[in-house]
Amino acid sequence: MSNFDVLTMALRNLFKRKTRTFLTVLGVIISYTSFVLIFSMSIAQNDSFNEQMKNIQDALLIQIYNWNGYNGVPDAPVLDNAVIAEMKNIENVTTATPYMSYYMCALSGRYQAQFEVVGIDPEAMPFLGYKLKEGAYIDANDPYSFVFGADVPYNFQSQGGGRISYDYGWGPQSQQERVENIDIMKDKIQVSPDYSLIQSKENNNTQIQDNGEYVPDPVFSTVDQSIYPPFEIKTAGRLDGTDYQTSQTSYINIKTMTQILNDYAKWQEKEFGYKQPETFGYQMAYVKCDSVKDVSKVAETIKEYGFEVYYATESVDALKKTAESTQFFLILLGFITAVLAVIGIANTMITATMERTKEIGIMKVIGAALKDVTKLFLFEAAIIGLFGGIMGAGLSYLVSYIFNNFDLPFLQMVSSVQVDPWNPVPIQEFPISIITPYLTALAIPISAAVGLVAGLFPTIRATKISALTAIRSN
């Protein structure tokens, strides 16, 4: 018998038993759809992880904290220049820099501002992800070279007028206009760690005109306390950043920052008898790695120094392990559904073999070869698997569309996992199910193969039936 004849006979046999064939194919459709959807949700989870990793701020950075040393604990490890130099030599480290932060005030003409100033290594700044809007990075040869955050110029307000809030919920944005009252790149700016500088201007050396404007009082009022002398800075550049830390922070050479704070502490002790607690080393440091895969390894090396570390992908590692467990469970369910499909097809084919014993005997008597009998039952099983796969493909795309476009709370536990709790991205931005062409192209042949495997045992059973016994059976 030709393959076409065997295929025609197989189709005729399947259509002869429509109800049984339909129920078997339906079982394959459900199994196939479940199999594809389970794998599609696993693909969606991986894609959401990868996409969110791209959006994590400073994914390559490790923050190093010197809590005990900076609080003066004698036996604590010291985060100093020598240690940071060693960290720079750790394998897969791009750069390392100390990080020292202090809130300072500034004056420029009749305008004042308050903002955070950070001391870092000028050489490290280009590697830390800071993008320039204008100008250049910190000039290592100029101790008072300054780089301003994108939004710091908006902080400069009329003396005594306080700070106009915007953007971050500290004031009515709709009622305030963002105005740069000074030219950050050209105007003379004086900065000081001593808030008495602007407080004295507000309280003792200003007056309010009828138009509400604050101007210097021509009659100087005596200031009751000394004022730490401000230093004049030279603006090197301005950052182009939208996140809070970058936009509201300014940067200076770490050496200058250390010197300023040390001098200020000595001045406070001399003027007021206030002695700062003893500290050892820097507050913090940052280490940047070559790639994301190197971050956790480098972090473990740094922990051996005795410091606490934090890196953005640390939470990702934990969440990814949880997601991998979920994915393993989903894949296991996928294989279970495939096994159920095999059982359903095998049950149908075994029943068909028992019912068609006499037909098998007649085929053998009239000269049908064993290979023809084998092909007949295998074709029937494969057709059930193939038809179920094709129809299941259409159903899986439909269910996938429903998952991705309708709010189904019971699916959230296996949907996109949020990897950055500090910078959450709406779950709706990530699909719950992604059916790739590769998955469809692979799953349909698998469905047909499942049918072949399911029909193998009944086929072997059919070929072993003797022609004489088969003809005598009822």
The yes-or-no verdict on residue 148 having pLDDT over 90 is yes
More confident site: 225 or 92:
92
User: Which pLDDT score, from 0 to 100, does residue 416 have?
Assistant: 47
pLDDT digits (tens, 9 = 90+) for 312-331: 777 666 666 766 677 677 67
List the domain boundaries for the chain: 3-56+317-472, 61-290
Most trustworthy range by pLDDT among 181-185, 212-216, 349-353, 380-384: 181-185
pLDDT digits (tens, 9 = 90+) for 230-244: 999 999 999 987 666
169-194: average pLDDT: 72
The yes-or-no verdict on residue 4 having pLDDT over 60 is yes
The yes-or-no verdict on residue 366 having pLDDT over 90 is no
81-93: average pLDDT: 94
Confidence of residue 64 (pLDDT cuts 50, 70, 90): very high
3-state secondary structure string, the chain? CCHHHHHHHHHHHHHHCHHHHHHHHHHHHHHHHHHHHHHHHHHHHHHHHHHHHHHCCCCCEEEEECHHHHCCCCCCCCECHHHHHHHHCCCCEEEEEEEEEEEEEEEECCEEEEEEEEEECHHHHHHHCCCEEEECCCCCCCCCEEEECCCHHHHCEECCCCCCCCCCCCCCHHHCCCCCCCCCCCCCEEEECCCHHHHHHHHHCEEECCCCCEEECCCCCCCCCCCCCCEEEEEEEEECCCCHHHHCEEEEEHHHHHHHHHHHHHHHHHHHCCCCCCCCECCEEEEEECCHHHHHHHHHHHHCCCCEEEEHHHHHHHHHHHHHHHHHHHHHHHHHHHHHHHHHHHHHHHHHHHHCHHHHHHHHHCCCCHHHHHHHHHHHHHHHHHHHHHHHHHHHHHHHHHHHHCCCHHHHHHCCCCCCCCCCCCHHHCCCCCCCHHHHHHHHHHHHHHHHHHHHHHHHHHHCCCHHHHHHCC
Most trustworthy range by pLDDT among 216-220, 363-367, 429-433: 429-433
User: Which pLDDT score, from 0 to 100, does residue 171 have?
Assistant: 38
pLDDT digits (tens, 9 = 90+) for 184-200: 999 999 999 988 777 65
Q: What is this structure's pTM?
A: 0.59
> 394: buried, middle or exposed (CB in 10 Å: 19+, 13-18, 0-12)?
exposed
